[in-house]
């Protein structure tokens, strides 16, 4: 055997072992509205960038889109046969894209991985279309310093919430309570309101799959929200980013917010995160959560590389790194909260506990149509708030409109 034939054989062997395409540089575009979040966005992205050391031929590129436009943009881009390779999607958009057949089966990426219950809605008709990214559950948070200065107690019911928030306002001059309350922020408003609805035992759908909008539970939930609205403890007209900034600047007593929002409040503001406390929602039943999935675009030119990325994402190392950047959000696998993080953020463990029995903001069986159904419902809520019409009458109108749709 000559030297040249040995060299040729070695070259051939290396080509078989390392196929050319595996070495070609590939750019995976990953879209997420969270990339634009102050501090949290950078932390999350730096976790993902670690993948580049695992797969040197892959370069990750972040596509940050403001959360208000994110769903519309993803729907439009995916529908037009374009879009990022990988998208981190709120459950509602995830279901709509899955329904349109625009997501890739990613079951192979999670084979043999013990995922927790957050995986459930990512599996449609037995096909895994989404890998859980985060589950942001809601809780009641408060500024412990303001509460102490006002001499009020953390509330466990809505009437206690009103009394405590009024106490904070009267004694400290701060805002009593913040909550989304305007239809101009429809998407966030309906998701936040699901806490009130679920908290009062609303199901929106009966055992036969019929939409049940006008129920005593729903009327009770709206009446409770109206009580809070009328108590002049909410800064009417403030959008959610403004309300969160006010909380960050120690100007708010109480708020109902999700774990992601609370992490935002606790990061990089005037407020010491150790002063934020949390507790279960002041309702008889558990509240809601926003589930976020990672999905691969069916239009992606690099589905194999995207799949390999997802495989890495659910490894214990990646999940542990993600835990540090995700605050108390539930992840795809059960990763306990970091002790140092909990010491700095005493509000975090309550969120982790609440994630075990919270419910999706989407209506079971009507996941794709939830926003369409919730529009008349939220307009009924708004009508009650603004005009004082009885919740039952407003809900009856909403039920009529929804019955016409389906």
Partner 1 sequence: MAYSSQSAQPVAVRPTTGGRPAATARLRRLLPYAFMALPVIYLAVFMFWPLGRQIWLSFTRTRLANPNRSEFIGLRNYERLFDSPDFYSALYVTLVYSALAVVIGVAIGTVAALALNRPFPGRTLVRAILLFGWAVPNVAAALVWLWIFNERSGVLNSIVTSLGLERISWLTSTDMALSSVLLVTVWQVAPFVMLVMLAALQSVPQEVKEAARVDGADALNIFRAVTLPHVMPTLQLVSLLVAVWSIRRFDIIYLLTGGGPIGSTSTLIVKLRQVAFENHDLGLASAYGVIGLILALLVAAIHAAFNRRRQKGQS
Q: Smaller CB distance to partner 1: residue 15 or 82?
A: 82
| Mutual angle of helices 186-199 and 216-230, in 10-degree steps | 120
Other C-beta atoms closer than 10 Å to the C-beta of 11 total: 10
- What is the closest distance, in whole angstroms, from the C-beta atom of residue 405 to partner 1 in the complex? 8
Distance spanning both ends of the chain, measured CA to CA: 77
Compute the least distance from the CB of residue 131 to partner 1, in Å.
Answer: 20
Q: According to the binding rule CB under 8 A, does residue 353 interact with partner 1?
A: no
Contacts of 204 (CB under 8 A, 6+ apart): 197, 211, 212, 213, 218, 363, 366, 373
Question: Within 276-335, which residues bind partner 1 (CB under 8 A)?
Answer: none
Structure tokens at 351: 């969120």
Q: Which residues pair with 59 in a beta bridge?
A: 27
What is the nearest approach in angstroms of partner 1 to the Cβ of residue 99?
7
Choice from 123, 183, 205, 320 touching partner 1 (CB under 8 A): 183
Residue showing tokens 């909550």: 179
Residues 21-80 binding partner 1 (CB under 8 A) are: 71-72, 75-76, 78-80
- Candidates 91, 238, 257, 305; binder of partner 1 (CB under 8 A) is 238
List the one residue from 16, 236, 270, 340 that touches partner 1 (CB under 8 A): 236
Question: Do residues 79 and 100 lie in contact, with contact meaning Cβ atoms separated by under 8 Å?
Answer: yes
Residue in the structure block whose two tokens are 């009593």: 176
**From the CB of 85, what's the least distance to partner 1, in Å?**
17
Q: What are the distances in angstroms from CA 255 to CA 51, 341, 386? A: 37, 21, 21
**Interface map 242-281 toward partner 1 (x if CB under 8 A):** ----------------------------------------
Rounded CA gap, 191 and 73, in Å? 19
Of 243 and 273, the one with the shorter C-beta distance to partner 1 is: 243
Q: Which is nearer to partner 1, 121 or 345 (CB)?
A: 121
Question: Site for partner 1 (CB under 8 A): how many residues?
Answer: 36
Burial class (CB in 10 A: 0-12, 13-18, 19+), 24: exposed
Taking the least distance from each CB to partner 1, the nearer of 22 and 405 is 405
Residue closer to partner 1, measured from CB, 47 or 146 = 146
Query: Taking CB under 8 A as the rule, does residue 186 contact partner 1?
Result: yes
Question: Of 217 and 238, which has the nearer Cβ to partner 1?
Answer: 238
Which is nearest to 253 in space by CA: 338, 318, 334, 166?
Answer: 166
Letters for 364-383 (x = contact with partner 1 by CB under 8 A, - = none) are ----xx-xx--x---x--xx
Instruction: Rule CB under 8 A: choose which of 41, 235, 253, 287 binds partner 1.
Output: 235
Q: At what angle do helices 186-199 and 370-387 cross, to 10 degrees?
A: 80
Angle at 64 between CA 63 and CA 68, to 5 degrees: 135
Interacting residues with partner 1 between 90 and 119 (CB under 8 A):
96-97, 99-102
Residue 2 makes contact with partner 1 by CB under 8 A: no
Of residues 8 and 232, the one with the C-beta less far from partner 1: 232
Least distance in angstroms from the C-beta of 398 to partner 1: 12
C-alpha torsion sign, points 403, 404, 405, 406:
positive
For residue 128, what are the β-bridge partners? 123
Q: Which residues contact 160 (CB under 8 A, 6 or more apart)?
A: 153, 282
What minimum distance in Å lies between the beta carbon of 237 and partner 1? Answer: 4
Instruction: Report the run of H or E that residue 166 belongs to, with start and end.
Output: helix 158-172
Task: Encode 175-198 in three state secondary structure.
Answer: EEEECCCCHHHHHHHHHHHHHHHH
Site string for partner 1, 143-182 (x = CB under 8 A): --------------------------------x------x
Which C-beta is closer to partner 1: that of 72 or that of 353? 72
CB of 300 to partner 1, least distance (A): 16
The residues, any chain, with a CB within 8 Å of residue 136's CB and separated by 6 or more, are 258, 259, 260, 261, 289, 290, 292, 329
Q: Which of 19, 112, 209, 237 binds partner 1 (CB under 8 A)?
A: 237
Where does this chain bind partner 1 (CB under 8 A)?
71-72, 75-76, 78-81, 96-97, 99-102, 175, 182-186, 235-239, 368-369, 371-372, 375, 379, 382-383, 386-387, 404
């Amino acid at each position: 055997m000559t030297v040249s034939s040995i060299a040729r054989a070695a070259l051939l062997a290396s080509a078989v072992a390392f196929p050319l395409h595996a070495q070609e540089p590939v750019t995976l575009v990953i879209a997420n509205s969270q990339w634009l979040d102050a501090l949290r966005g950078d932390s999350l992205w730096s976790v993902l960038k670690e993948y580049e050391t695992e797969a040197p031929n892959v370069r990750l590129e972040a596509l940050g889109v403001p959360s208000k436009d994110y769903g519309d943009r993803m729907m439009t881009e995916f529908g037009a046969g374009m879009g990022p390779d990988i998208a981190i999607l709120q459950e509602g958009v995830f279901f709509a894209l899955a329904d349109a057949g625009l997501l890739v089966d990613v079951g192979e990426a999670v084979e043999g991985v013990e995922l927790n219950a957050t995986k459930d809605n990512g599996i449609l008709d037995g096909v895994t279309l989404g890998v859980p990214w985060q589950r942001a559950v809601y809780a009641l948070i408060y500024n412990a310093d303001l509460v102490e200065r006002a001499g009020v107690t953390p509330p466990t019911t809505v009437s206690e919430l009103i009394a405590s928030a009024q106490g904070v306002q009267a004694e400290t001059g701060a805002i009593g309570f913040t909550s989304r309350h305007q239809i101009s922020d429809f998407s966030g408003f309906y998701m936040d309101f699901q806490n009130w609805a679920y908290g009062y035992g609303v199901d929106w759908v009966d055992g036969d799959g019929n939409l049940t909008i006008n129920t005593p539970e729903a009327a009770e939930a709206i009446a409770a929200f109206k009580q809070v609205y009328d108590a002049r403890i909410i800064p009417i007209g403030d959008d959610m980013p403004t309300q969160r900034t006010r909380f960050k600047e120690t100007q708010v007593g109480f708020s109902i917010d999700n774990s992601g929002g609370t992490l935002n409040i606790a990061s990089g503001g005037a407020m010491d995160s150790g002063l934020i406390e949390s507790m279960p929602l002041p309702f008889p039943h558990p509240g809601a959560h926003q589930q976020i999935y990672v999905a691969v675009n069916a239009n992606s030119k690099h589905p194999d590389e995207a799949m390999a990325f997802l495989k890495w994402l659910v490894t214990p190392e990646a999940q542990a790194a993600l835990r540090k950047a995700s605050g108390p959000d539930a992840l795809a696998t059960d990763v306990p909260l970091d002790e140092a993080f909990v010491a700095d953020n005493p509000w975090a463990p309550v969120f982790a506990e609440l994630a075990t029995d919270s419910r999706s903001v989407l209506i079971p069986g009507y996941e794709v149509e939830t926003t369409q159904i919730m529009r008349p419902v939220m307009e009924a809520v708004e009508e009650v708030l603004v005009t004082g019409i009885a919740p039952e009458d407003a809900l009856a109108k909403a039920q009529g409109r929804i019955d016409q749709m389906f």
